Structure 1
């Protein structure tokens, strides 16, 4: 009985990261649906609830930054977009567009035009 319980416990501990990944992917899928329907604050809430997505998944980090821009959290969006553009090969050229939009919203037109040209 004790061996059986120990094996079950070990099995659950080993499988937990697998279940957690599915959960994160489900969250990302759900957030993308909200994002597609322009429900940015719901998408942001879902994406921010997963530490794994908000720290390590590039697509999720990009969506978080865009959602932050859309809900007028410009400073947070700026920090996240700059972090994405500092990576060697940022797969999202839209980062530069959103950085330009942030500068434009802050009436920093020279910096905005510089980012629009990139």
Structure 2
């Protein structure tokens, strides 16, 4: 599935604060914790829990969220399909980064071990 320019623009303009509560609900419903969610976000972006809360309060878009992030050098190891898109085949960098985060949240909710989610040996 190829992303369209409209899809990419919608992702870019979506606020992180509008999606974060859904991430929390998804992981907590499956018995994982908000702290584990923060750990996953920090691994991918470099943002700690306090920074995440500040970004939520500022209502930043995903575009701003990822522009200022320090993406983990192992983020390219996040593969598979999320929301019908094969992550490795997404040609828009921002959309791919958002899907990285979606995939990590999905893996957390599915009960995957943290060292596997964080792509550790």
The question of a shared fold, defined as TM-score above 0.5 by the shorter chain, is answered with no
Please, what TM-score do these two structures have when normalized by structure 2? 0.29
Q: Which has the higher relative contact order, 1 or 2, with Cα contacts under 8 A spaced 6 or more apart?
A: 2
Considering fraction of residues, name the structure with more helix: 1
